Amino acid sequence: MNIRLLCLLGALALTNTDALADQEPASGVAAAERGNIKLIEDALHRHTAILASDAFGGRAPATDGEALTTAYLVKQFKALGLAPGNGDSYLQRVPVTELSIDAGATLAMKGKNFSTQLEYGDEMVVSTEKQVEATALEDSKMVFVGYGIVAQERNWNDYAGVDVRGKTVVILVNDPGYAT
């Protein structure tokens, strides 16, 4: 089954099945297919417009927009006569974690005859994938690796010959040539 057919079938699941039943029989497969595609397109546009409207508040997780979106989808599934797919529910709980950086974060660097403190956003950016309340890194040697690119097809490896084990890797943001 090709991806186009899968997309059409997915859109069809969101259409009003009564509209398809009321459709006049078309002469020939191509005419019937064109008619069904038009109905599918219309339904897809209608549902997309509804879900994308300001009334759904952006649909972000843990917001009123999410609740409105899931309620709308459940209503549509019920109207189609679909059975719940998760026990007696149409929904499945998915734990969500938000990671954010404190705008007041700083990066202090000290060397033998050198000391500086960089401010977040203007002079440096830090991040972590660890899901913890706070994270800190102390007494870590720093290794500069340019843009941190490894692109074998371009014979480019910023990490070639650089030992990064147990060290803090410092990279440039964006892509080479971005500033120009």
Task: Tell me the average confidence (pLDDT) per consecutive run of 10 residues in the chain, 180 residues long.
Answer: 37 45 48 73 91 91 91 92 93 82 83 90 82 83 93 95 93 84
Q: What is the DSSP letter of 133?
A: S
73 and 30 fall within a common domain:
yes
In which domain, by residue range, is 29 found? 3-79
Structure confidence at residue 15 (pLDDT): 47
DSSP string, 39-69: HHHHHHHHHHHHHHSGGGTT--TTSHHHHHH
- Kindly state whether residue 85 falls inside one of the protein's structural domains: no
Structure confidence at residue 130 (pLDDT): 80
110 and 66 fall within a common domain:
no
- Kindly state whether residue 45 falls inside one of the protein's structural domains: yes
Structure confidence at residue 124 (pLDDT): 86
Structure confidence at residue 32 (pLDDT): 56
- Kindly state whether residue 94 falls inside one of the protein's structural domains: no
Structure confidence at residue 31 (pLDDT): 56
7 and 73 fall within a common domain:
yes
- Kindly state whether residue 9 falls inside one of the protein's structural domains: yes
Domain count, the chain: 2
Structure confidence at residue 48 (pLDDT): 92
- Kindly state whether residue 88 falls inside one of the protein's structural domains: no
Structure confidence at residue 29 (pLDDT): 52
- Kindly state whether residue 145 falls inside one of the protein's structural domains: yes
7 and 74 fall within a common domain:
yes
- Kindly state whether residue 178 falls inside one of the protein's structural domains: no
- Kindly state whether residue 114 falls inside one of the protein's structural domains: yes
Structure confidence at residue 34 (pLDDT): 64
Structure confidence at residue 88 (pLDDT): 94
110 and 70 fall within a common domain:
no
Domain stop point among 42, 62, 79? 79
Structure confidence at residue 30 (pLDDT): 60
Contact 157, 149 (CB under 8 A): yes
